[in-house]
Amino acid sequence: MSNRSAVKLYRTPTDHLYMVLVYTLTILISVVILVPMIFVVAASFSSPDALMAGQVFLWPVEFNIRGYKMVLEHKMLVTGFQNTLIYAGAGTVINVVLTILAAYPLSRRDLKIRNPVMFLFAFTMLFSGGMIPLYLLVKNIGILNTRWSMLLPNAMSVWNVIITRTYFQSNIPGEMLESANIDGCDDFRFLWKIAIPLSVPIIAVNVLLYAVGHWNTYFNALIYLNDNALYPLQLVLRDILIQDDTAGISMDVTKQLEQQRLRYLLQYSTIVVATVPVALLYPFVQKYFVSGIMIGAIKG
């Protein structure tokens, strides 16, 4: 921070122009990002009529929570929400456990098998068998159209293993392991009692990346599931937001108009309900994020 005070002492004429540019750019980007998001939230709390009339911009018009009531009454949405909670919860636990189990041994320079295993892992980032062989495998091991197909095929990301390994390497001094070994501490105990407690930032980063990944993806569900009752939230959202699912709509014209009128409201409320839970993770993890990414991804 000392440079920032030094900077104030000396300014060339172009510095002013430069700072104008810096602030213009950051403010412009912030506004462009915020406006659509504020609009969605404002629209979700507005009345369907105000929405249809295009009166809503950045503040709710005729405030009401009808959209959110519709979300709660939408059976598929509620099921999807529950399924996603299961997939994201169980999936993240599996992900983090496997990632730590892989990353810790790979961080040990005294382990001879470390390089071959690292190569085995890293190669999968460069080359893959493709979508169809993986699908056939999932089918052959009998987990197609089960909850396991949402958890096992992406049980671990090699990228996360690499940043976690780098973090272990640069944050846990070798002397600590030596003295623990002299005191009779074995590798399991060392990992559990010393390495993990010292690595909270990188574990938090892992939780965030994996959980957001599970919450937001629909691809695996699209190819592995065909039972509606197992669908995660994103597939249900796809029906509501993109395919304009009008199944079950009656032939009654007035009713149809009413449905049309409510559809936008339902869409906005759904967007908010689907996005807020993951966004809530961010403040908890934010304090670790930059330090975790920095040590994990850059020193490596």
Partner 1 sequence: MNQSLPKRRRSRDTYWYDFRTHWQLYLMLLLPVAYIILFAYVPMGGASIAFKDFQIRKGIWGSPWVGLRHFTNFLNTPNFELLLRNTIILSGYSLLATFPMPILLALAINEASSARYRKSVQMITYLPYFISTVVMVGMMMNFFSLRAGFVNAVVERMGGTAVNFMGEPKIFRHMYVWSGVWQSTGYGAVIYIAALAGVDQSNVEAAVIDGAGRFRRVWYIDLPTIMPTIIIQLILAMGSIMSIGFEKVFLMQNPINLDVSEIISTFVYKRGLTQFQYSYASAVGLLNSIVNLVLIVLANQFAARVGNTSLF
If the CB atoms of residues 78 and 152 are measured against partner 1, the closer one turns out to be 152
State the Cα–Cα distance between residues 116 and 83, nearest whole angstrom: 38
Is residue 33 within 8 Å of 18, Cβ to Cβ?
no
Nearest-approach distance from CB 291 to partner 1, in angstroms? 8
Please report whether residue 234 would count as binding partner 1 according to CB under 8 A.
yes
Of 8-37, which residues contact partner 1 (CB under 8 A)?
A: 8-12, 14-15, 18-19, 21-23, 25-26, 29-30, 32-34, 36-37
Residue 37 or 200: the one with the smaller Cβ distance to partner 1 is 37
CB 86, min distance to partner 1, A = 17
CB of residue 243 to partner 1, shortest distance in Å:
9
Distance (Å, whole) CA 65 – CA 44: 8
Helices in 127-252 by DSSP H: which ranges? Answer: 131-140, 148-151, 158-171, 174-182, 187-190, 200-216, 219-224, 233-237
Phi, psi of 54 (to 5 degrees): 70, 30
Q: Which is nearer to partner 1, 19 or 65 (CB)?
A: 19
Per the document, the length of the chain is 300
Q: State the number of binding residues for partner 1 (CB under 8 A).
A: 102
Measured in whole angstroms, the distance separating CA 67 from the mean position of its chain's CA atoms is: 25
Alpha helices in 225-252 (DSSP H): 233-237
| Interactions with partner 1, residue window 46-85 (CB under 8 A) | 52, 54
- How far apart (Å, rounded) are the C-alpha atoms in residues 58 and 78? 28
- Find the binding residues for partner 1 in span 176-215 (CB under 8 A): 186-188, 191, 212, 215
Site for partner 1 in 85-114 (CB under 8 A): 98-99, 101-102, 104-106, 108, 110-113
252-281 residues near partner 1, rule: CB under 8 A: 264, 267-268, 271, 274-275, 278-279
Binding status of residue 286 toward partner 1 by CB under 8 A: yes
